[in-house]
Amino acid sequence: MPDAIIRAQGLTKSFDKGDLALEDVSFDIYSGEIFGVIGKSGAGKSTLVRCLNFLERPSAGEVYFQGEALSGMSRKKLYQARQSIGMIFQQFNLLMQRTVLDNVCFPLEIAGWKRETAKKRAAELLELVKLSEKAGTYPAKLSGGQRQRVAIARAVACGPKALLCDEATSALDPETTRDILSLLRDINLRFGITIVVITHEMQVIENLCGRVAVMDAARVVEIGGVREVFSRPKSEAARALINTDGEAAALLRFLGKNGVSIEEVLGHVWHDN
């Protein structure tokens, strides 16, 4: 088993009114894997992803990145660690007054790269995400999928070891979602970047991730391989996700692709009942 690049240990986060957004959350994310976190709205997913790079400081517990506790880092060292943890968001968070090229250059400039070197690196990344022809365009002129491609190029500009994706496809149509998932898979394979995918969409987990953690009411209630969790869910939260919004058909397609027969699935349903 590869080393854990990110380790969450007993993470708890409460806000001013005493509401718990996270409660005793623990798991390991291994170097080079694509790890999913799924749950319904309000389960604590977005708070979790912001705690993984200390954009939100947990009220209790610890996050380790490459074996080192984030809470024990100086401000400078924490900033350096965050350069190794890229992040992309549902709403893209691009700088609207900068061109596509300059958006990708932005983190490189902050990191102290020379302008010409940053431009060369940004151009290479725009070629990777198939947007070279949009280098001089402003974000307002781009589609949602194109904006997310720019955001991905920007997130990997400084060569991160891990990439956190917070509902990165939720604002996109199904075809564009497939394109973005394909791009993320390519980045994982090409660069070995560990990817953490936060989503409420089962098909995103099904198509991209190797392991998944299921969240419900601020806690991780189940964790395991995607095939195992989707075919034999142990938690009520996982079963609810599978049985909502017509996902049963998608689940059966997924199981079929992985050599599990419908009869076997039905046998588990009858047995459970």
User: Which CATH number does the domain housing residue 220 bear?
Assistant: 3.40.50.300
Quick one: 78 and 112 in the same domain? no
Quick one: 186 and 130 in the same domain? no
Quick one: 25 and 148 in the same domain? no
Q: Is residue 192 part of a domain?
A: yes
- What kind and span of H or E run contains 153? helix 144-155
pLDDT at 181 over 70: yes
Quick one: 15 and 60 in the same domain? yes
Write out pLDDT tens, residues 210-225.
Answer: 999 999 999 999 999 9
Helices (H) and strands (E) in the chain, counts: 11, 10
Quick one: 60 and 165 in the same domain? yes
pLDDT for residue 170: 86
Distance CA 1, CA 257 (A): 25
Please report which confidence band the pLDDT of residue 231 belongs to, taking 50, 70 and 90 as the band edges. Answer: confident
Write out pLDDT tens, residues 15-45.
Answer: 877 789 999 999 999 999 999 999 998 899 9
Q: Is residue 237 part of a domain?
A: no
> For residue 209, what are the domain limits?
4-84+160-226
pLDDT for residue 241: 84
What average pLDDT score do residues 244-261 get?
Answer: 54
Degrees to nearest 5, angle at CA 3 with 159 and 77: 50
Tally the domains of the chain: 2
Distance CA 10, CA 62 (A): 7
What 8-state DSSP symbol labels residue 137? -
The answer to whether the beta carbons of residues 172 and 145 sit under 8 Å apart is yes
Instruction: Spell out a b/e string for 96-123, using b for 16 or more CB atoms within 10 Å of the CB, else e.
Output: eeebbbbbbbbbbeeeebeeeebbebbe
Please report which confidence band the pLDDT of residue 245 belongs to, taking 50, 70 and 90 as the band edges. Answer: very low
pLDDT at 162 over 70: yes
Write out pLDDT tens, residues 70-110.
Answer: 999 999 999 889 889 999 988 888 999 999 999 999 999 98
Q: 225, 232, 157, 155: which is closest to 195 by C-alpha?
A: 155
Quick one: 80 and 106 in the same domain? no
Query: What is the average pLDDT value for the chain, to the nearest integer?
Result: 88
- pTM of this structure: 0.86
